[in-house]
Amino acid sequence: MCRRVSGLLAAVTSLLMLAGIVWGGVASARPAYPIPDPDPFYSEPADLAALSPGDVVRVQRVDTRAYADSEGWQIAFRSTNSHGAPILGVTTVLVPRGVSQPPILSYQAIVNALGSRCAPSRGLFNLEQVEAPGLLIPLSRGWAVSVPDHLGPEGAYGAARLGGMITLDSIRAVKQAAELGLADAPVALAGYSGGGMASAWAAAMAPEYAPELAIAGVVQGGIPADLEQMANIIGSDAHPGFGLGFAAAIGLEREYPDRFQMERELNPQGRWLRDFISNECRRFILFHGAFRSARDLTNSPGWMSNGEAREVLRENSLRYFAGVPNMPIYMWHGRLDPLTPYDGIEEIAQRYCAQGVQLQFVTHDIAEHLIPAALGFEEAYEYLAARFRGEAAPSNC
């Protein structure tokens, strides 16, 4: 099962380059944006631009009976997209009952989806979020858990910088929301794979984007560190997980419509599939995209050569981001991971060490992507527990 899921995730990047096939730089058609959530809670207020990143827009209680002995809130807040424009972010917060001033774990979930109903604020309660049962672990430790919709209101799957900013703004909002009373609580971040990517970007962007946040530590595993490298490795052949790759192309097109537009090179089958899955969640995308390929859906075999698309990929690759965290980091990765090559992660670890980051870097000698997630989280949570206790962070730099 792990091998199959790893293969499915591997194809996320096989279509990343597809979205960059605009030859003149001007988009010829509107990207396939998701249908907005009809709940007014998700609607942008008219004065959103007047607010600061992380400012609370509205708060609502949620039913958390699926998460034993917890109370729940959802917070809508002001955040920022990849172009500096204001957007509405949402996070779901679970607080263990009977715990006074719990620490906050910002948990960035894996979200392999495009539709508004697939975001964690919906997926935690409609069986779409596969990591949902795992949240009982930090709750049982007495930690409050915040799970942001880090793909943003347009489901920009693959837009890593966006995920970092939304994550940081969600922490600001959780601390600001008077209903929760967590203004002075210590905070840490966690995530694996796509969630690890959002966590790692938040950690690296925090010194500049959110310097006022005192983050006790970050645990990040299985990070897709170099999207350009991954796209080159995967190529455009048929693959069982092709749907996820195509979904990533749609997500990046949504966030970068002028630089990552794919309308001109999609053939009729490609346009049909794009529209068919643009509001769907993980299982639907996987089923209907299985064993397709970029060659099936495009008019030109040269779509991978577009330099502008590669620039966007690099802009969303942690390997090429100059910023470094200013908080303790626990990072783990599989040395033989076929999805996220180890050399990019190793390079990041070396750069962090050279620039004085308190880094604990753990390597698992496993040729898989998801097995290290199971192996790494127990030690990762112990690492965060020690940070919450105020213990000095270890480093193996």
Task: Output the pTM of the full model.
Answer: 0.91
Task: Give pLDDT tens digits for 90-107.
Answer: 999 999 999 989 999 999
| Secondary structure string (H, E, C) spanning 280-346 | CCHHHHHHHHCCECHHHHECCCCHHHCHHHHHHHHHCCHHHCCCCCCCCEEEEEECCCCCCCHHHHH
**Phi, then psi, of 238 in degrees rounded to 5:** -60, 145
Return the pLDDT at 389. Answer: 97
Quick one: how far is CA 97 from the chain centroid? 28
Burial class (CB in 10 A: 0-12, 13-18, 19+), 126: exposed
Domain limits, the chain? 11-216+236-328
Please name the residues in contact with 113: beta carbons below 8 A apart, sequence gap of 6 or more: 119, 123, 128, 151, 155, 157, 247, 280, 281, 282, 285
Taking 50 as the pLDDT cut, the residues of the chain under it are 1-28
CB under 8 A, 24+ apart: contacts of 65-70: 66/124, 66/125, 66/132, 67/94, 67/135, 67/136, 67/139, 68/136, 68/139, 69/96, 69/97, 69/98, 69/139, 70/94, 70/95, 70/96, 70/97, 70/139
> Can you tell me the distance from the alpha carbon of 46 to that of 209, in angstroms, rounded to the nearest whole number?
24
Return the pLDDT at 303. Answer: 55
DSSP string computed for 137-193? HHHHTT-EEEEE-TTTTTT-TT-HHHHHHHHHHHHHHHHH-TTTT-TT--EEEEEET
Please name the residues in contact with 187: beta carbons below 8 A apart, sequence gap of 6 or more: 103, 104, 105, 106, 171, 174, 175, 213, 214, 215, 216
- 77: helix, strand or coil: strand
| Cβ neighbours of 388 (radius 10 Å) | 20
CATH class label, 11-216+236-328: alpha beta
> Can you tell me the distance from the alpha carbon of 266 to that of 235, in angstroms, rounded to the nearest whole number?
17
Return the pLDDT at 340. Answer: 86
